[in-house]
Structure formats: structure tokens, C-alpha cells
Structure 1
Amino acid sequence: MMEVEYHYAALIESSDDAIIAKDLESRIIIWNPAAERIFGFSAREMIGHSIRRLIPEGRQQEEDDILARIHAGERVGEFYTERLHKDGHTVHVAVAVSPVRDKRGNIIGASKNIRDASQRIAMIDRWRNSERRFRMLADNITQFAWILGADGRVTWFNRRWYEFTGLNFETMSVHGPMWVHHPDHVERVSAKFRRCLELGEPWEDLFPLRGANGDYRWFLSHAVPVADETGAITEWFGTNTDITEQRQQAEHIGLLLNEVNHRSKNMLMKIRAIARRTHGVTPAFLESFDRRLSSLSVNQDILVRQNWREVPLSELVALQLRFLGEGQRQIAIDGADAALNPRAAEAVGMALYELATNSLKYGALSVAEGAVTLHWDVDTANNHFAIQWTERGGPATVIPQNTGFGTTLILDVPRQSLNAEVSLDYHSTGVIWRLESHDALASPETGGQSPPKDLPRA
């Protein structure tokens, strides 16, 4: 029996948790070393005194409730609370209380097991603050935000989604997000998203969603996979950004550009008419003037069609050289896909037209056996663009004694507008024109979409 009592005493003394025994009046009977370490009071200072000494004034009711439950023979499961240290500061603790009985089964007191919970409470506070900040951010951004499981099932929407759709999570869980998609787009959007889900690739798409009022609005949507430390995808995080107004503005701007283009062409026609009626103008001048106006008109059409953004170089070349007819067969075109900015498209387009016109009159394109190579290189990493027009097999090259407006379009305009290095060499084998610039390439694509279409109400 003595050995058992010794083990009990050793257990109490060596425990990392505070073990405190008290009678039914809350007077302390046992106070182990861990209790001294947690609260700063020695056993001599606490034994015989009320445990209420450790309880903050605003929490005294806790002791009343504990005593009531102990008198009823109940255990008090672990709960988190605050107690006072000897120096007056508050200690976060986890407390569990059990009734103590004598040999006859009568309740004579209580045993308290108390752990220092400061680190755990601090961790919980950090988690709660993190959760609060996340909610504050997620629910107040203008975009819809959502999370999917690895299988593509929705696990969370932010508040903006519910406000727009008027639906709750239970409804969305049953029907899925596609329930609010426009029926004309469901199949396309679903197929693309499933493909990205299977490949584990980021997803981007544009489609209309139905609001609570039945109206559809256009959204640019993104989703990215989230992987664990092993690289396995565990979730997907996505957003929907309302771009309805931006699309409407883009459509309006497109209409304005078309109107400007129309008026510009009318102005060109007037200029052409004035030139034809001007006294002393030769037929050769009128022909050259008309061709340059046509080239300028081609540039206008391309730029308006591209909303004055990036212009595909291959399209620019094809349209500017279209006037050659069968002569296009004598031109070998070689170059990677590239897009020029509007200023470069104008300068390069006019230069190519002048080069082709001169070649048709005096150079390689003026004879059946002549040939032209048009080659360009693109280095997007360094934003470098180079293009070269090389003639061969034509008549003997003659260096012009005088330069006219055509030379200005070929050399001076691109040199000044693109800060380019431009050369025009009259080799014995044929004319070689070369342009290099760091200001010609268009910026990376931002995902230009087709103009918005009217959508019916649900």
C-alpha cells in the first residue's frame, strides 16, 4: 500500500500539468511543482487558501458552476479559460475537474488538472485572425472567388457569388456552377474546363453568367491548381471578373473606329479627286499617288479590324502585297509568327508597298525570272524585330540619282517612328532593304475576345 501511495505522490510531483486538489469549499489541499511553475505561487503560499485567488474577478462564476457540478458528481471536461499569475498577468489555461470520493463513495473534494495553454491559444488566435482576414479579403473583393476539390466539386464560394446568383451553397452543390451559365456556352466551357482539370493546367475562359434578376453578365474567369508538398493537386482556386462594361465599351470603341475609318476613306477619296483635278499633274504621278493611298487604306482596315492593337505581320504582308496579283508567286515569305504594334504596322506596311511597287517597275518583279525573299526574325525575350527584303534575278541594279517620297517611306519614316536601323542597298544582284527595331513588336496578348452579343433573359 505504501508503494502505491509513493507512486501516486511521484506521479503528482513529476507531472508537467498542474494538479491541484481542493475541498468542497474551494480550499487547496494539494499543489504540485507544475502548479508553482504555471502560476508562480509556492505550495506554502497556496495550500489552505481558496483557489478563487487564481480566478479573475470576471470569471468567478466559473468556480460556482464547477462546484455545483462536482456536488452533483459530474466531471467537468476540459475547457479553455484564464487564470492569474502571481505577478498579476493573465495565463491561458486548459482546465479539467473531477470529483474526489472517500472510501464510502462520498464526494469530499475535487481534483483539477490544469495545462498551460498559452501557445495553443496563441495558435488559435493566429488561426482566427488569419480566417478573419481571409474572409474580409475574399468577401469584399469585386470578383467572385471559389475553391474546388481535386475532383472538380465546389467546396466554397465567396459572398459576392451568392449575392450575384441569389443561390445558397446547398443549391450550388446539387446543380453545380454550370446551372447559372448561359446554355449557349455550357458545352464549350465545360469541355475546356474538364480538359484543364485532367491535365492539371491553369484555366481561363470568357462566358456569361445569370444573375439573381435573370440578366446575364460577361465574366473573365481563371482557375489555378493548388498542389501539396508531393506535387499532387489537392484543390483549385478560381475567380470570375465582371467585364460586361468593358466589353460594351470595347464594342462602342469598335463602332467609333469603324466610323473614323469610314470618314478617313472618304477623306482619301476627296484627296484623290482633288489630285486628279489639279492642273499639271501627270498620269504617272496620279498612278503612284493612288497606289500610296490604297496602301494607307489597307493599313487603316487592318488596324481597325485589330482594334488598333497588335497586327499579325503575316496578314499585313499578304494584304500589302495583294496588288501584285500573280507577281506574288515570285516572293518567298519566311518568318515566325509575330505581331506588330500599330505604329510599326503603318511604317512597315507602307515600306513594303513601296518596295514591291519599285520592284514591279524596275527590279526583280519586273521580269519573270526575278525573285524576292522576304524574311523576318523575332526575339521576344529582347523585344527585337528584324525584317529583310532581298531581290535577285532582276535587271541590273541602278542607283537612283534623285530620291523621292518613296525613299522617305522606305527609309525615313520607319527610322524615325520606330527608332529603327534601316538600310537600303543597291547590290549588283538586286536591292536589299533591312529594318531592325526594339520598338516594333506588340505587347504580349491580353486575350482579345470577340464583341459581345445580346443575351436573352432567363
Structure 2
Amino acid sequence: MKVGLPKNFRDAYLAAIVEHSSDAIVSKDLDGIVQSWNAAAERLFGIPATEMIGQSIRRIIPADRQYEEDAILARVRSGELVPKFETMRKRADGTEIPVAITVSPIRDASGTIVGASKIANDLREQANLRAELLHSQQQFKALANNIPQLAWMADEKGWVFWYNQRWYDFTGTTLEEMQGWGWRAVQHPDHVDRVVEGIQHAWDTGEAWEDTFPLRGKDGEYRWFLTRAQPLRNEAGEVILWCGTNTDITEERETNERIRLLMNEVNHRARNILATIQAIVHRTVGTADAELTEALIRRITALAANQDLLTGERWNGAAVDAIVRSQVLHVIDPTDHRVAFEGPEGIVLKPTAAEALGLAIHELATNALKYGALSNGDGEVAVRWRLADRDGERSFEIEWSESGGPPVKPPERKGFGTTIITRNPEMAFHGKVRLDFRRDGVLWRLAAGDDALTNQSASRSQ
């Protein structure tokens, strides 16, 4: 046998629940006249119970929503529960606020419907969050659709689920066609297997991805794109999203190709000029001064070798290791392994410094072959270069060291060759050259700051 609470206690208990509820709880008769108005309703609408009880509930309903009350009362009279719906209601100061309302019939002891109970939830915080989310979505959409790149997003497994409008405008496709791996349809058949392999490696390893390949536009023509994809990770370091962009580089590639062709043409004409100068030297000086003719010809050859290196790099600079090896091997038989090279790759010199170093190395190699360590069968040459850190500043050093050759005698006079290996490098590098005619072999050393280095030069010290 169940024992219930006394009626008077039960009524007081229920009244306390209603009064202390955080939701606005209101009761009204079938004409919409308010019968009860709890504390939460006072806070939500800014109207005390003494002002609302006995007044029509329509006071808090905006003029353009009065029809809602007609529909609510009609459903309550028929015994229906009005499920939760979102709407707007007025506060005492006339401002409208978003609320969620549920309405249910109230019956007397005989079961007759005598009124309605309404519960209202304040949605202002949710509305603000929705507005902020909508604003963020609008900002993202505006940004994504106005950047010059094609953009896309994929889930952690690489399933592409979103593209920006520029992708659709360029490809003439739809999301249904492109989602997942559908993007393969606009890949060039000569590149698609390589691209799929590369991006699958990124999906599998979580490594950032970059590649260059053509994509087909809606006109059927292919354009070249630089494509990058970066993983977005959670706090545990797990990939949760991939963000990718495709940047059209067709014009850049075409421009670079035109520049390359132009520079090759300029280099070709420059070499023709150097060949003409060589011919003039032969005809003007000829056998009258064979030594002078030889010196001029080999220096012109050194200039031509330097020019080839710089043209190959579009005159952005030349790597030290390429300069040294090229100039030495222009003078010495490649099968002669008595010259040792030691130094890091990736140290790139600006054009002026590259030319000065090339001429200096060529002059040193020629002198070594004629008079120094390479003029006999026992001598050796070591060429070493490195980046160093001195007092927090980067410096460049290169050394030419001979050993095992005939005893060295300092020259009786300083000619143009000395200028090439001392003054020219010092001016081009803003550095200092040490030239030491040691008895056991010539030592030439250049030390300079990083003024002559390009930004792409390796930063490590060796």
C-alpha cells in the first residue's frame, strides 16, 4: 500500500518547485488571462507577478505573432499538448527576446480543461551563439570564395568533403562529382598516378604535402597548379582535418620558360662574343706574345664557364662547389685525382662573387699546373670551404692549399694574375685574402662575411 503526501503539503511542495524553477512557468485560463506567474517569468520578461496576474498573456506577444496565441488556445481547448517551438516574446521595455515554449492543458478534478500551463526557456544565449556561428560561417565562406586559390578540405582519412566556389567555377563540376576521390577526374592522365601516390603517402603519414601538376578546367584546357595540403591536429596530435589549396602557376611557368629561353639566347650570344674576342686576340697578338695570348684565352674561357653556371641558375647565383669543380676541371685532366674537394653543398654566391671566385680558382689551378703542386707527379691540392659562426655572425671561408710540388719561390713582380686572386675577391666578397708562398706549397685563403651569400645558402657550419 502506497502512502502519499497530504494534499496541502503536496500543493505547497509543487508550488515551491514552480516558484524556484529556472524556467518561466505561467498558467492561464482558456481566454488567455494569466493565473500564475513564477519568479523566473518575472526575471525573463521583466514584469512582476502583481502586474501580470489577471492580465492577458497577449501583453508579451509581439503584434506580428498574435496569431500564435489563437492557435495555442484552440489546440489547448481540444486537449492537445503544444510541443516545444521557438518564437519571440516581448519584455517590459518592448524589446523582443527569443524563447522556446511548451504548452499543455490544465484539467480540473473532473477532467475538464480549464486552462493551460506554459513553460518558456530563455534562448538569448543560444541565439547569440548561433549568430556568432553564422557570422563565422559567413566570414569563412567570404574568405574561402574570394581567395585566388582553389581550396578544399578532407577528413582525417583524406575523403574530400568541401571545395570553395573557385574550384567549381574553374572545373565546372559539383560536390557530388568531386567528393571523396572524385577529384581524380580533373587530373591529367599523365600525372594522376603520381599525384595519387603522393597524396596517399600524406594521408598515411600525416606529413604535409606539396606537388605541382595540371588540372583540367571546364573549357577542357589544362592549367598548372602548385598544390599544398596541411594537416590540422587535435590536442593529442592526431590529424582531424586536411586543408588544401591549388594555386594557378601557369603564367609563372610560361614566364619562367620565356626567361630561360631568353637567357640561353643571351648566353649563346655572349659566348659568340667571347669567341670573337678570342679570335681577335689570336690575330692581334698571335705568336708575337704566345704567353699573353694563352693568358687571355684561358681567362676568357674561365669567364665563359662562370657564365654557363650562372645562366643555368637564371643568374640568381651559383653554388660554391659547382664553381670550384667547374673551374678546376677546365684546367686539369678530370682523370687526375690529385685535387681534393671538401665542403658542403648549398652555399650559393651572388653573381658578382661567383664570377670573382671562379676567376680566382681558375688562376690558382693554372698556376698550380704550370709552376706549383700539379706541375710534377707528386704534388696535391686541397680546396676546402665552409660556413662559420664568428661572434654570432655568419662568415664564409675558402682555402686553396698546395703540397708536394717543387719548392715555391715568391714571384718577383705582381701582375694581373695576382689581382685576379687577391683584389678582385676582396672587393666582391668584402673580405680579406691571404696569399702565402710557402716553400712547400702555395696557400690562398679568403675569409668574408655573408654579404656575398644568397638567402638560399645553407645555414649550417661545416
TM-score when normalising by structure 1: 0.91
Cα displacement string for residues 404-449 of structure 1 (whole angstroms, at most 9, x for unaligned residues)? 222222222222223233322223332222223302333239xxxx
Paired residue secondary structure (1:26)? coil
The answer to whether 1:266 aligns with 2:266 is: no
Query: How many angstroms does 1:204 deviate by?
Result: 0.5
Task: Give the structure 2 partner of residue 449 of structure 1.
Answer: none
The answer to whether 1:334 aligns with 2:347 is: no
Cα displacement string for residues 98-157 of structure 1 (whole angstroms, at most 9, x for unaligned residues)? 333344544433222112222221111111111110011011111111111111111211
2:42 corresponds to which letter in structure 1? E
8 A Cα contact 2:363 2:421, kept in partner: yes
Between 1:288-297 and 1:346-355, the stretch displaced more is: 346-355
Task: Give the structure 2 partner of residue 294 of structure 1.
Answer: 301
Query: How many angstroms does 1:226 deviate by?
Result: 1.0
Within the candidate set 285, 292, 296, 1:285 is matched to 292
Take 2:366 and 2:307, find their aligned partners in 1: how far apart are those partners?
19
Take 2:64 and 2:129, find their aligned partners in 1: how far apart are those partners?
24
Tell me: CA distance 1:432–1:59, structure 2 relative to 1, closer, same or farther (3 Å): farther
The answer to whether 1:398 aligns with 2:398 is: no
Take 2:433 and 2:57, find their aligned partners in 1: how far apart are those partners?
93
Tell me: CA distance 1:326–1:138, structure 2 relative to 1, closer, same or farther (3 Å): closer
Query: How many angstroms does 1:94 deviate by?
Result: 2.7
Task: Give the structure 1 partner of residue 378 of structure 2.
Answer: 369
Task: Give the structure 1 partner of residue 93 of structure 2.
Answer: 87
Take 1:50 and 1:89, find their aligned partners in 2: how far apart are those partners?
18
Take 2:64 and 2:367, find their aligned partners in 1: how far apart are those partners?
97
Query: How many angstroms does 1:326 deviate by?
Result: 4.9
Take 2:192 and 2:135, find their aligned partners in 1: how far apart are those partners?
39
Take 1:283 and 1:72, find their aligned partners in 2: how far apart are those partners?
122
Take 1:387 and 1:79, find their aligned partners in 2: how far apart are those partners?
81
Take 1:247 and 1:411, find their aligned partners in 2: how far apart are those partners?
41
Between 1:94-103 and 1:133-142, the stretch displaced more is: 94-103
Take 2:297 and 2:14, find their aligned partners in 1: how far apart are those partners?
110
1:441 corresponds to which letter in structure 2? L
Within the candidate set 13, 16, 28, 1:10 is matched to 16
Query: How many angstroms does 1:291 deviate by?
Result: 0.8
8 A Cα contact 1:205 1:221, kept in partner: yes
Query: How many angstroms does 1:46 deviate by?
Result: 0.9
The answer to whether 1:55 aligns with 2:61 is: yes
Paired residue secondary structure (2:224)? strand
Within the candidate set 140, 143, 149, 1:137 is matched to 143
Within the candidate set 321, 333, 337, 1:314 is matched to 321
Query: How many angstroms does 1:279 deviate by?
Result: 5.1
Take 2:30 and 2:397, find their aligned partners in 1: how far apart are those partners?
94
Cα displacement string for residues 261-289 of structure 1 (whole angstroms, at most 9, x for unaligned residues)? 01111111122222222258611111111
Q: How does 1:183-222 map to 2 (within 5 A)?
A: 183-222=189-228
Cα displacement string for residues 161-193 of structure 1 (whole angstroms, at most 9, x for unaligned residues)? 111111111111365222211111112111122
8 A Cα contact 2:160 2:180, kept in partner: no
Over the matched positions of the two proteins, sequence identity in percent amounts to 44
1:294 corresponds to which letter in structure 2? T
Take 1:425 and 1:199, find their aligned partners in 2: how far apart are those partners?
55
Query: How many angstroms does 1:26 deviate by?
Result: 2.3
Take 1:58 and 1:353, find their aligned partners in 2: how far apart are those partners?
92
Tell me: CA distance 1:103–1:184, structure 2 relative to 1, closer, same or farther (3 Å): same
Compare relative contact order (CA 8 Å, sep 6+) and give the higher one, 1 or 2.
Answer: 1
Paired residue secondary structure (1:325)? coil
1:187 corresponds to which letter in structure 2? D
Take 1:178 and 1:312, find their aligned partners in 2: how far apart are those partners?
39
Query: How many angstroms does 1:349 deviate by?
Result: 1.7
Take 2:246 and 2:234, find their aligned partners in 1: how far apart are those partners?
24
Task: Give the structure 2 partner of residue 305 of structure 1.
Answer: 312
Task: Give the structure 2 partner of residue 170 of structure 1.
Answer: 176
Query: How many angstroms does 1:383 deviate by?
Result: 5.0
Within the candidate set 354, 367, 371, 1:358 is matched to 367
Provide the aligned length of Structure 1 versus Structure 2: 445
2:356 corresponds to which letter in structure 1? A
Tell me: CA distance 1:405–1:107, structure 2 relative to 1, closer, same or farther (3 Å): farther
8 A Cα contact 2:100 2:121, kept in partner: yes
Between 1:16-25 and 1:413-422, the stretch displaced more is: 413-422
Take 2:193 and 2:393, find their aligned partners in 1: how far apart are those partners?
40
TM-score when normalising by structure 2: 0.90
The answer to whether 1:96 aligns with 2:102 is: yes
Task: Give the structure 2 partner of residue 115 of structure 1.
Answer: 121
Tell me: CA distance 1:360–1:5, structure 2 relative to 1, closer, same or farther (3 Å): same
The answer to whether 1:236 aligns with 2:250 is: no
Take 1:401 and 1:61, find their aligned partners in 2: how far apart are those partners?
114
Tell me: CA distance 1:263–1:164, structure 2 relative to 1, closer, same or farther (3 Å): same
Query: How many angstroms does 1:220 deviate by?
Result: 0.4
Tell me: CA distance 1:351–1:74, structure 2 relative to 1, closer, same or farther (3 Å): farther
Take 2:315 and 2:81, find their aligned partners in 1: how far apart are those partners?
77
8 A Cα contact 1:388 1:432, kept in partner: yes
Tell me: CA distance 1:429–1:23, structure 2 relative to 1, closer, same or farther (3 Å): farther
The answer to whether 1:388 aligns with 2:395 is: no
